[in-house]
Chain A
Amino acid sequence: MTISAEPRHLDARYDVLVVGAGPAGMAAAIGAREMGADSVLLVDRERDPGGILLQCIHSGFGLHAFKEEITGPEYAERFFEQVLDHEVDVLTDAFVMDVTAERRVKLMSPSVGVTTVDAGAVVLAMGARERTRGAIHIPGDRPSGVMTAGLAQKMVNLEGYLPGRRAVILGSGDIGLIMARRLTLEGVEVVGVFELLAHPSGLGRNIVQCLEDFDIPLHLSTTVVGIHGRDRLERLTVAPVDDQRQPLMDRAWDVDCDTLLLSIGLIPDAELARDLGARMDPLTGGPMVSSTMETSLPGVFAAGNVVHVNDLADWVSQEARVAGEAAGALSTGRMRPLEDIRLLPGDNVGYVVPHTISSDHTQTVSFRVRKPIYGDTQLRLGEVHRRKLKAAVPAEMITIKVGPHLLEGFTGDALRVDAVPFDAEADAPSDAVGGER
């Protein structure tokens, strides 16, 4: 590992400082410059900008942002070119250690040492981290060979090594599904994917393209209940679970393998926001945000996976652009929107982002359902809006555009978002209260 200790000069103050140069951070930096910020600093702790995209060498990115299917690194590169075109200052190999409510940012890097800079506005775009074995408490030994799917992805895609020879994947999140395919292509035997829930947690297209196309079995309602191996993983015990998710030990069986990849979910990497004292949403694990992605602390914005775990980088870029534009606009003294309506997760809705919206402009509202509905689904935004969907599953984030035309007549201060099975009678469009006004 070489250290790029070339000393670098940083200004004492930037209009906007962006923490994290994944798709969120890059889009925010571009947005900030476009809305008039004179100086924007984009900081990332990795050597190269791009975030998690750099290790996603499969295609499937950019369908919305670029109207074509490209790989993660290509997506990152296109955005990074724009970042450079917009004359954003970029500092990599630099870790943001602390941010204060006064937006004083402490960072460390071999090129600048340990130093602080002030910012007119800060955009937090730190992404998410993977849940680990500690989060699910599997009894047994503690051998090598048990790791998160993302770490394995990095080993294979960026470093060119294999995590093992015979792998089991626990959890049907997208990273795990994609790794099942990658490892198979690399000659690693993938014994199966085990999922505690009765439905997969990754995208439908990944179930087809990563498992079915390669004959990799997916065991739903099944989990790992024992890890065996003194030095290296040798064997797992797996068991089906009942509808209370309790393992049925009399039906347990053993699986020989040397590798267990955990794909059991992502959690927003929001420690900086929490330490700062931003109001947090226990449902997402990220900070609460306004319609312009501003946290409860004025001048501190957040976007991307640090707010809620997205399934598509394209959505991340869109959402982060909003944050960046608002952060940039602050430096030009523009007024904040009203933020006069709170959004609340209602029936079968796991979370809603943003947490407040404004009746004076148009914003995108994102949410996920809690339980899958494999059939006609009714979306309701309070009494002001209804929409019918073909299905709604937790793996796929749902977005709706909410603008002044919907909110015109609304005088309350909160709207509930519901997603329930379509009931033809109750949900009939002729229903007096429903529909667009």
Chain B
Amino acid sequence: MLDPESTAVEGLITMSVPVVHDVIIIGGGVVGVTLARTLSRFELDVVLLERDAEVGFGVSKANSGIIHSGIHADPDTVKGRLEWPGNVGWLRLRDDLGFGLAQVGELLVALAEDELATVEALHAQGRRKGVPGLEPYRQDQVRRAQPNLTREVIAGLWAPTAGVVNPYEAVLLIADNAARNGVQVVTSEPVVGIDPPVVDEPDAPIRVRTPGRTWHGRYVVNAAGLYADEIAAMAGVASFTIHGRKGEEYLLDKRLAGLVTSIIFPCPTETSKGTLVTPTYDGTIMVGPTAEATDDKDDTTTTPEGAAQVFAAARRLVPGISPRDVIAEFAGVRAVAHTEDFIIGPTDRPGFVNAAGIQSPGLTAAPAIAELLLDVLSDEGLALHEKDAWQPRSEHPVRFAQLSTEEQAELAVREPRYAQLVCRCELVTEAEILDAIDRGARTLDGLKFRTRIGMGRCQGGFCTWHCMQLLAERQQVDLPAVTKRGAGSWLVCERDDAGARPTAALGG
């Protein structure tokens, strides 16, 4: 591979001229990619460095997928200020990029007299923040709106602005669009060090180290999620610590689709919004999350205790739910700063900016976080000139399954690979897989989150092999180099060389 740090002229290497990027973003979660796309509106050289094999593989894909109505977070906090503008920002993103986002609304319910005050307080808070459409519901209105809720509901608050999104799809399409507008998105590129400032050269770019490279940036934005404290420490500005707070989520069989049609919230407690019952964008019901402090930031295990807790709480709201209906489960870890709030802003080191401690509602707030970061960077001296040729829209990937028979037939005439089946449960074709690979899918999980392969009833039993072959073929690697999600998540090994592990893992 050509090292872009050096310029080689006709075979003789004269000197090494480092490319200096205007902005280096560390971390390709929803915060990093949304910032990348926001910056791509301007005449800037932006690079995003992501540790994992693909963007969005952190907590940004493992959450409830709720674009919160805007009523929940205290407006005297940063997260509270950004929640509602974030919600509005998502609708614009959806209109531009066409990912799945449905404003299904939320219904907050009170099950006991002493919870009525909480409902009233959240109503007042929402009004204060300018959230439109809020409506207190009496018991009979709750029952009419959601007949499958427990009969014990005594009142509720209806907030029509809440939505559900496919978070991974959104992150990928946002990153896609940023890349289309010139942002360099580099995956499998973990930041391992940041050089100290050069003493006599205050204007020297910040040097960011990854295992094989040094990246030079005038500005560096730390959007490294759970590891933002370590990145800040590398930069010499360790002013905060990040703790993990795990949340388990359980997806229920399609059979239960329609059990609730809006997001059902219990009254919140001090540390958590409680266990929610959510109709996901895909129509399945999801219950969760839990909220458990964890010392291990990478602990995304589900546990019997977590399941018990989630189902006890969910059944209090919707008695028709049962653990027997679980078809998939996962956990994500929230990055919680010791301040319990977002940490967004400049630091003592010129040019180094934090976007850290982005706990819930970080997904919701992401578009507003990006706008705030834009202001911060501009205040720090980054010159912003709008591009003439910025392309807010990208061509949306084809979803064969959602087309009419006529459209399907027409596509298949143009490209026979649209008539070649790969995933039979979700009806995904070979052409869609190849397109996803061309857009950056490097792993089985990456294909799954982009195209829905393997998400159906057979959970990949039918399509896994075909997908592995396409990944290997398109990237010209051997099958043992294909992984589930990068690093050591290999899938098959060769027959002979006993004990040997695949060597060059794709994306890790």
Residues on A facing B (Cβ under 8 Å): 1, 3, 5, 45, 93, 95, 97, 106, 108-116, 129-130, 132-135, 137, 139-145, 147-148, 150-151, 154-155, 159-165, 186-187, 225, 228, 230-232, 271
Fill in one digit per residue for B454-465: 1 if any A CB lies within 8 Å of its CB, else 0. Answer: 000111111011
- B11 interface residue (CB < 8 Å to A): no
Chain A residues with CB under 8 Å of B306's CB are: 139
- B218 interface residue (CB < 8 Å to A): no
Inter-subunit contact A164/B326 (CB<8 Å) = no
- In the complex with contacts A148-B461, A161-B479, A1-B301 CB distance below 8 A: no
Inter-subunit contact A162/B495 (CB<8 Å) = yes
B479 to chain A: closest residue by CB: A161
- Interface with A: B228-236, B369-377, B416-424, which one? B416-424
Cα distance, A49 to B140, chains bound together (Å): 59
> Which B453-491 residues sit within 8 Å CB-CB of chain A?
457-462, 464-466, 469-470, 473, 479-480, 483-491
Cα distance, A396 to B457, chains bound together (Å): 27
A161 in complex: contacting residue of B323, B326, B418, B494, CB < 8 Å:
B494
- In the complex with contacts A45-B421, A108-B412, A154-B465, A144-B491 CB distance below 8 A: yes
Inter-subunit contact B461/A155 (CB<8 Å) = no
Cα distance, A231 to B483, chains bound together (Å): 9
- In the complex with contacts A141-B301, A144-B483, A144-B484, A132-B492 CB distance below 8 A: no
- B154 interface residue (CB < 8 Å to A): no
- In the complex with contacts A115-B409, A134-B326, A232-B490 CB distance below 8 A: yes
- B8 interface residue (CB < 8 Å to A): no
- In the complex with contacts A150-B461, A231-B488, A161-B493 CB distance below 8 A: yes
Inter-subunit contact A162/B494 (CB<8 Å) = yes
The 7 A-B pairs at the shortest CB distance, nearest first, are namely A231-B488, A144-B484, A110-B416, A113-B412, A132-B459, A161-B492, A5-B416
A139 in complex: contacting residue of B301, B444, B465, B493, CB < 8 Å:
B301
Cα distance, A271 to B426, chains bound together (Å): 12
- B413 interface residue (CB < 8 Å to A): yes
- B330 interface residue (CB < 8 Å to A): yes
29 residue pairs of the A-B complex, CB under 8 angstroms, read A45-B421, A95-B424, A108-B421, A109-B419, A114-B408, A116-B405, A129-B458, A129-B461, A130-B461, A132-B458, A132-B461, A139-B307, A140-B303, A142-B330, A144-B484, A144-B485, A147-B461, A147-B464, A155-B492, A160-B495, A161-B493, A161-B495, A163-B491, A165-B493, A187-B495, A231-B486, A231-B487, A232-B489, A271-B457
- B498 interface residue (CB < 8 Å to A): yes
Inter-subunit contact A3/B326 (CB<8 Å) = no
B427 in complex: contacting residue of A3, A97, A134, CB < 8 Å:
A97
Chain A residues with CB under 8 Å of B462's CB are: 129
A134 in complex: contacting residue of B302, B323, B459, B491, CB < 8 Å:
B459
Inter-subunit contact B488/A232 (CB<8 Å) = yes
Cα distance, A162 to B497, chains bound together (Å): 11
- B327 interface residue (CB < 8 Å to A): yes
Chain B residues with CB under 8 Å of A45's CB are: 421, 424
Chain A residues with CB under 8 Å of B304's CB are: 139, 225
What's the minimum C-beta distance from A408 to chain B, rounded to whole angstroms? 44
Inter-subunit contact B412/A151 (CB<8 Å) = no
What's the minimum C-beta distance from B251 to chain A, rounded to whole angstroms? 8
B490 in complex: contacting residue of A95, A144, A147, A159, CB < 8 Å:
A144
